[in-house]
Structure 1
Amino acid sequence: MSIWWSLHLRREAASVPLARRLLLGTMETAGVDPDVSYELSVALTEACANAVEHGGGGGSRGSGGRPSEAYRVTAYLDGETCRIEVSDSGPGFPGAGDEVPAVPSADAEHGRGLRLIEELADHVQFGNRAGRGGAVVSFDKLLKWRDGPALLLA
């Protein structure tokens, strides 16, 4: 089975639950184990929240003082793996490659969401978009299936 979707969302807090609900609905329809779906949805929520908070370029504002920039969420369910990618148009991670930025201290106000993504996913990459700028957070997780019928796609 192979399913993929991509969303182009405004950098507004209201966009985060939309992405999460779409992922959970896709996972339920495909027959993914609810625990795995929940872990991926929490990781997605953290990545989207990071894009909303930090993903703007130059701090420009649209009408009503809201951020005018957007971010993109793409999810792939392919065989036994789910891969999710969240990219924005902000300044990106300083000196990022395959390594996450410096480990935040226990009382830090920022950076804990990236660590949570690392704990919930099997493989994580934090990087910057080539050429256009912006951060990219991508993560994979092996899927488990629930008992009972699932959507069969050809």
Structure 2
Amino acid sequence: MSIWWSLHLRRDAASVPLARRLLLGTMETAGVDPEISYDLSVALSEACANAVEHGGGATRDHASEAFRVTAYLDGEKCRIEVADAGPGFPAAGARPRPRSGSAEAEHGRGLCLIEQLADHVHIGNKPGRGGAVVSFDKILKWREDAPLTAV
């Protein structure tokens, strides 16, 4: 079984729950275990929130006002990628170190949460025009009554 979708979303807080609901609906329909679905939806929400907050360019053009979410459910794995048109992470090519942040902090824990919830995480910059890319994978588990199972 293979399912994929891609969204081009405005850099607006309302885009975050839209992407999350689409992911949860896809995973529920496919029969993915609810705990795995929840972990991935939280990680996706954090990546989208980062794109909304930090993903704008210096100019207010159409590209800097949007970000892209792509999800692939392929066999036993789900891969999610969130890419924006912002300035990207400092020191292009160097992997940023997620901050753990304090429990009371309102910001600074998103990348750390993604790393805790996913099996493999890649954080970097898009080649060429710039922008950040956060992608993460997780091995899927299936409900016993899953209508679509991995082949």
TM-score, scaled to structure 1: 0.88
Q: Does 1:83 align with 2:87?
A: no
Mapped partners of 2:115, 2:149: distance in 1: 31
1:101 matched to which residue of 2?
97
Q: Does 1:25 align with 2:29?
A: no
Distance 2:70 2:106 in 1: 27
Alpha-carbon distance change, 116 to 153 in structure 1, aligned in 2, over 3 angstroms? closer
Q: Which residue, out of 123, 126, 129, partners 1:126?
A: 123
Distance 1:29 1:123 in 2: 24
Report how many residues are paired: 150
Letter matched to residue 46 of structure 2: E
Return closer, same or farther for 1:20/1:94 CA change in 2, 3 Å cut-off.
same
Which residue of structure 1 lines up, in the alignment, with residue 49 of structure 2? 49
Tell me the CA shift for residue 109 of structure 1. 4.7
Q: Distance in 2 between matches of 1:46 and 1:102?
A: 12
The unaligned stretches of length 5 or more in structure 1 are: none
Distance verdict in 2 for CA 1:94–1:108, change over 3 Å: farther
Cα shift at 1:132: 1.1
Query: Deviation string for 1:33-92 (max 9, x for gaps)?
Result: 000000000000000000000000015278xxxx96100000000000000000000010
CA drift at 1:150: 1.3
Partner of 2:139: 142
Q: Match for residue 58 of structure 1?
A: 58
> Match of 1:3?
3
Query: 1:102 & 1:149 partners in 2: Cα distance?
Result: 35
2:6 counterpart SS class: strand
How far apart are residue 98 of structure 1 and its match? Answer: 6.6
Query: C-alpha displacement at 1:105, in angstroms?
Result: 4.2
Q: Is the 8 A contact 1:104 1:110 kept in 2?
A: no
CA distance in 2, matches of 1:84, 1:98: 21
Q: Which moved more, 1:95-104 or 1:70-79?
A: 95-104
CA contact (8 A) 1:94 1:101 kept: no
List structure 1 segments (4+ residues) > 6 angstroms apart after TM superposition.
none
**RMSD, matched Cα:** 2.3
Aligned to 1:60, the other structure's residue is in SS state coil
Q: Structure 2 length normalisation: TM-score? A: 0.90
